[in-house]
Structure 1
Amino acid sequence: MPDPLTVASGICAVGALFSSWQMGRRAVRAEAEIAHLQAALAAERHAASHDPLTGLPNRRAFYRLAATLLTDAAGRPLVAVVADLDDFKQINDRYGHAAGDQVLISVAERLAAFAGDNLVARLGGDEFAGLLATPTVDRRWIDHATRRLCETLAAPIPLGTLTLRVTASVGLAPVHGPAQLTEALDRADAAMYQAKGLTARRPTREIADAPRLAEC
Structure 2
Amino acid sequence: MRIRPFDALNKLRSTGDASKASSGSAASAASAAQAPRDAAQIMGVPENELTPNVQRALLTLMGEVDQLRKDTERLRNRVRELESLADHDVLLPVLNRRAFVREVSRAQALAERHGAPSALVYFDLNGFKQINDDFGHAAGDAALHHVATTLTANLRETDSVGRLGGDEFGVVLTLTTVSQAEAKAGELAEMIRQTAFSHDGNELYINSAWGVHPIEAGVPVDSAMAQADAAMYARKQQIKASATG
TM norm. shorter chain > 0.5: yes
TM-superposed CA distance for 1:80, in Å, is 1.3
Equivalent position amino acid for 2:184 in 1: A
Residue 148 of structure 2 is aligned to residue 108 of structure 1: yes
Aligned length: 194
Mapping of residues 179-190 of structure 1, within 5 Å: 179-190=219-230
Structure 2 match to 1:159: 198
Residue 189 of structure 2 is aligned to residue 150 of structure 1: yes
Structure 1 match to 2:34: none
* Preserved contact between residue 125 and residue 168 of structure 2 (Cα < 8 Å): yes
Residue 123 of structure 2 is aligned to residue 77 of structure 1: no
SS at match of 1:115: coil
Of stretches 176-185 and 16-25 in structure 1, the one that deviates more from structure 2 is 176-185
Residue 57 of structure 2 is aligned to residue 19 of structure 1: yes
Out of 21, 31, 35, the position equivalent to 2:69 is: 31
Residue ranges of structure 1 left out of the alignment (5+ in a row): 1-8, 205-216
Structure 1 match to 2:126: 86
SS at match of 2:154: helix
Out of 87, 94, 97, the position equivalent to 2:137 is: 97
Greater Cα radius of gyration, structure 1 or 2: 2
| Residue-by-residue CA offset, 1:79-122 (whole Å, 9 max, x unaligned) | 21100111212223333333322221221122123331212211
Kindly, what percent of the aligned residue pairs are identical? 31
SS at match of 2:93: coil
* Preserved contact between residue 80 and residue 188 of structure 1 (Cα < 8 Å): yes
Out of 172, 175, 195, the position equivalent to 2:215 is: 175
TM-superposed CA distance for 1:49, in Å, is 1.6
Cα 1:25–1:178 shift into 2, 3 Å = farther
Residue 103 of structure 2 is aligned to residue 62 of structure 1: no
C-alpha separation in 2, matches of 1:155 and 1:132 = 22
Cα 1:186–1:162 shift into 2, 3 Å = same
C-alpha separation in 2, matches of 1:47 and 1:135 = 28
The alignment's TM-score, normalised by the length of structure 2, stands at 0.69
Of stretches 101-110 and 177-186 in structure 1, the one that deviates more from structure 2 is 177-186
Residue 232 of structure 2 is aligned to residue 192 of structure 1: yes
SS at match of 1:52: coil
C-alpha separation in 1, matches of 2:228 and 2:118 = 13
Structure 2 match to 1:124: 165
C-alpha separation in 1, matches of 2:194 and 2:103 = 29
* Preserved contact between residue 103 and residue 157 of structure 1 (Cα < 8 Å): no
Equivalent position amino acid for 2:137 in 1: H
The alignment's TM-score, normalised by the length of structure 1, stands at 0.77
Equivalent position amino acid for 1:175 in 2: I
Higher helix share: 2
TM-superposed CA distance for 1:129, in Å, is 0.8
Residue ranges of structure 2 left out of the alignment (5+ in a row): 1-46
TM-superposed CA distance for 1:201, in Å, is 4.2
